[in-house]
Amino acid sequence: MELASTRRETIINYVLVIESLTERERTGKDLFDDILARRALQHNYGCGYAYAASKMDFLQALQEVYFHVIHNGMIPLLHIEAHGNENGLKLADNSFISWNEIGYHLRNINVALKNNLILVLGACYGLHISSQIIPIFPAPFRVVVGPYEEVSKEAVQTGFEAFYEKFVNRECVDTLNEMIASLNEGFYPAFHFIDSEVMFESSWDFYCKELSTREAINDAVDFMVINGNLLPEVDPSILKETFARGFLGNQEGKGDLFNHFMMKSLGSP
């Protein structure tokens, strides 16, 4: 099944819903039962549903996605249903997971997919996960769909039913824009999508302004270390030099970081 984003098509062979809502709120389970599972055989794609009551369950679900990508050739559209805010997701047991931590696991999945992860967030403020688009690191997803603000349960439930009806009837879908239009139909246009390639450009401009001197770069990396925002495998001294080469250098430096961000070296077209 092909899904056209703004730049290129992504092949999807599996739709996975991960949900962390209370029993009376489970819009993700309704979506899976009423649309996705019912249409899977008819339209030749795999689908699954995972209920994550806790943070441990949620992270386990993401780790299992990674396993199936690596070992079974899964190319998923990953749909997450939970309550969200600007900083992350509140899970069914009232535990909390930050966008930073979610982004770390999504980045691993997307690297394994060679930048083909399609992420859909049925969570208020879901597009704040765009904070994880950092030019120095590989992209955490190819495309993400979700709201910037708070949305009603009705908008999520009704909107995603229309969204996935378009998705499973793939002969009717020309672009992701058309699917987003169906998602927002009858409601305030709360849902949008972000292409990571486009976000690289806007975040690049921001980082170039913020990190315009070596002192600013060193302070930024030190701040990341103090606050635990640095991935454990990253050497701070190497990161400082990489930032300097990219943000204080020329277009070649930007190009090197862009290729790393988009995983061009991994075979991404």
How many angstroms separate the CA atoms of 202 and 4, rounded?
22
Looking up residue 57, the CATH number of its domain turns out to be 3.40.50.1460
| pLDDT digits (tens), the chain, 269 positions | 544 444 455 678 899 999 999 988 888 999 899 888 887 777 778 999 999 999 999 999 999 999 999 999 999 999 999 999 999 999 999 999 999 999 999 999 998 998 899 999 999 999 999 988 887 778 899 999 999 999 888 888 888 888 888 777 654 444 667 777 777 776 666 888 888 888 888 778 787 888 889 999 899 888 777 766 565 666 888 878 877 877 887 666 777 777 777 776 544 44
My answer on whether 242 and 192 are in the same domain is: no
How many angstroms separate the CA atoms of 242 and 230, rounded?
14
How many angstroms separate the CA atoms of 108 and 6, rounded?
23
How many angstroms separate the CA atoms of 257 and 268, rounded?
15
Q: What is the pLDDT of residue 198?
A: 82
Q: Number of folded domains in the chain?
A: 2
Would you tell me how many other CB atoms lie within 10 Å of the CB of residue 175? 13
Domain boundary (196, 216, 242) is at 196
pTM of the predicted structure, to 2 decimals:
0.81
Q: Which domain holds residue 241?
A: 198-266
Q: What is the pLDDT of residue 78?
A: 96
My answer on whether 182 and 207 are in the same domain is: no
Contact in structure between 122 and 187 (CB atoms under 8 Å): no
My answer on whether 146 and 85 are in the same domain is: yes
My answer on whether 170 and 204 are in the same domain is: no
Domain boundary (196, 211, 234) is at 196
Domain boundary (152, 167, 196) is at 196
**Structure tokens belonging to residue 196:** 């990571």
- The contacts of residue 132 (CB under 8 Å, 6+ apart) are 99, 100, 102, 103, 106, 107, 140
